[in-house]
Structure 1
Amino acid sequence: MLRSLAEPEGYRLHATDDEIGRCRDFLIDDQQWAVRYMVADTRTWLPGRKVLVSPAQLGTPDWAAQRLPVAMTREQLEQSPPLDEDAPVSRRYEQAFNTAHGLPAYWLGSGLWGDYPAPSTMMAPQEMYIEPAPTVPEEPDTAEPVDPAVDDRVHLRSLREITGYDVRAGGDGEAAKVGRLKDVIVDDERWAVRYLVVDTSRLPFSKQVLLPVELVTDVDWASRSVRTEATEAQVEEAPAFDPAEPVNARMEAVLYDYYGRAHARVG
């Protein structure tokens, strides 16, 4: 099902043995358009740390009760490799994280989640083990070598950070501002980002539209903007989106026909 990614923010997080905090944020891979991590707010018992949870470790949200289950114990979460609250996530850190939790590398393989169809299939059948948290080595001993030239490149964007970014249409050059990024719509099984929600409101008019991520050409930290190859007129005249209405197959068909693209992939 397609859902707003901003909706679970603030949801209570329930581990297998206790409540562990609340959902604080999500980290999005802006190259492959996937949600790679949920950021947990655990400051009451793990202050000063950025605590990450992979979608592979998340259960089905209870939307009515505003609860998000986590397939970990409190101790397993505490044993995650430490990451300073303001530190970026590097590939070296991800390798240490995967080692701690028995997860395969999503970056190996041809799919969105490597050789796995969805994050839920990445967990080993046995219970995750607990051992002292591995440090993040300067030169990791691993069968999955990391190119030092790309190790520290950050392609994970905080949902909180990009919300409010200008959306500029027309590709490169002097792209026209057509609105602001309001939210993203994700497939809650594959945790794939499918659409950006763009607020094109101009007083006294209020309008939100959906922009397929296939039309996004760049996300720029410096200018706090998202660029799209769609034209200014295409974005402004796109079908209106009502956040209260679910994104269904008929809506997607209309949207992709409007932008002159093949219909959205399913699953």
Structure 2
Amino acid sequence: MLRSMKDLKGYTIGATDGEIGHVTDFFFDDQRWTVRFLVVETGSWLLSRKVLISPYSLLKADWEHKRLPVRITRDEVKNSPDIDTNQPVSRQHEVQYADYYGYPYYWGGDGLWGTGLYNPGMAPPPGLDPETLAEVRTEVADVYARAESTLRQNDDPHLRSCQAVLGNHLEATDGDIGHVQGMLVEEDSWSIRYLVADTSNWWLGHQVLIPPDWVSDIRWADSRVSVNLTRELIQDSPRYDPATEFTRQQEHDLYRHYERPNYWEREHNSAPHGS
């Protein structure tokens, strides 16, 4: 199911032994358009420190009460690597974070979440002893991920703040079309499936959805996002109503309008057997 990232802001993060804090932002990588970290304001119990929570930590969400439980303790969060969320998160920071919690490296393979992984829930939970962990993760996958990390630990992880993207100007191949109003994220994979485009600067305030796969260029310094679509094609696309649930049929209609392959069939065909 798709969730509005605006709605997810403010959700409570609950550890196994108490509350951690509230979601204030998300970091996503602008190559795979997948949320890699939730930025959480801890409040007074941890001197209002902002910490990163990986989707690897998440348990089943309590959507009714706007609560995201995690399988870690407050002490684990307290003693986690101190990462300045106001500064770019380096690959070395990510390595330290993953090693601390015992998580796989999401950049260690072709899947959205690493070698053969479509969503973080497919990975083993943290805190397993080495022997059990070795049974869950094959030696080949583990060695591959670690070797890949060593080679790439100084790479630019391309992490961006979702909050910083909101308000960026959107431009089609033949002119401006509006600005980024929001994002829709898939709750299982934490992949950003759509940018919500507010076109009020161009025509009568309609909102439309644009898959990030169709983004051709992002100029962060200029706060501009370019998409490989014409203004007319966007204007004639199905409207998006944030007050109603966006259904799979509506997704079919959207991709049919643009005459482009949809993401769920593409990813299903490329997923490993049994996923």
TM-score, normalising length from structure 2? 0.84
Inter-partner Cα distance in structure 2 for 1:163 and 1:68: 23
Inter-partner Cα distance in structure 2 for 1:202 and 1:193: 24
Inter-partner Cα distance in structure 2 for 1:119 and 1:147: 21
Q: Does 1:70 align with 2:70?
A: yes
Inter-partner Cα distance in structure 1 for 2:6 and 2:34: 14
- CA drift of 1:88 comes to 1.2
1:201 aligned partner: 200
2:123 aligned partner: 122
Inter-partner Cα distance in structure 2 for 1:100 and 1:89: 16
2:178 aligned partner: 179
Classify the secondary structure of the residue corresponding to 1:234.
helix
Classify the secondary structure of the residue corresponding to 2:255.
helix
1:244 aligned partner: 243
How big is each residue's C-alpha offset from its partner over 1:196-247, in whole Å with a ceiling of 9 and x where there is no partner? Answer: 1101124882210000122111222101011100111122222110012222
2:55 aligned partner: 55
Distance 1:53 1:6, change over 3 A: same
1:145 aligned partner: 150
How big is each residue's C-alpha offset from its partner over 1:104-144, in whole Å with a ceiling of 9 and x where there is no partner? Answer: 11101111111222101223364599xxxxxxxxxxxx743
Is the 1:3–1:247 contact (alpha carbons within 8 Å) kept by the matching residues of 2?
A: no
2:18 aligned partner: 18
Is the 1:15–1:72 contact (alpha carbons within 8 Å) kept by the matching residues of 2?
A: yes
Q: Does 1:158 align with 2:161?
A: yes
Classify the secondary structure of the residue corresponding to 2:233.
helix
- CA drift of 1:84 comes to 2.0
Inter-partner Cα distance in structure 2 for 1:147 and 1:124: 24
Is the 1:199–1:208 contact (alpha carbons within 8 Å) kept by the matching residues of 2?
A: yes
Number of equivalences:
249
Which stretches in structure 1 are left out of the alignment for 5+ residues? 130-141
Tell which deviates more after alignment, 215-224 or 117-126: 117-126
- CA drift of 1:46 comes to 3.1
Inter-partner Cα distance in structure 1 for 2:48 and 2:157: 21
- More helix by percentage: 2
Distance 1:128 1:74, change over 3 A: farther
Distance 1:44 1:128, change over 3 A: farther
Inter-partner Cα distance in structure 2 for 1:61 and 1:203: 38
Is the 1:185–1:194 contact (alpha carbons within 8 Å) kept by the matching residues of 2?
A: yes
Classify the secondary structure of the residue corresponding to 2:264.
coil
Is the 1:9–1:23 contact (alpha carbons within 8 Å) kept by the matching residues of 2?
A: yes
Identity %, equivalent residues: 38
Inter-partner Cα distance in structure 1 for 2:171 and 2:157: 22
Backbone CA RMSD of aligned residues: 2.2
- CA drift of 1:45 comes to 3.2
Which stretches in structure 2 are left out of the alignment for 5+ residues? 131-145, 269-275
Classify the secondary structure of the residue corresponding to 2:177.
strand
Inter-partner Cα distance in structure 1 for 2:103 and 2:216: 31
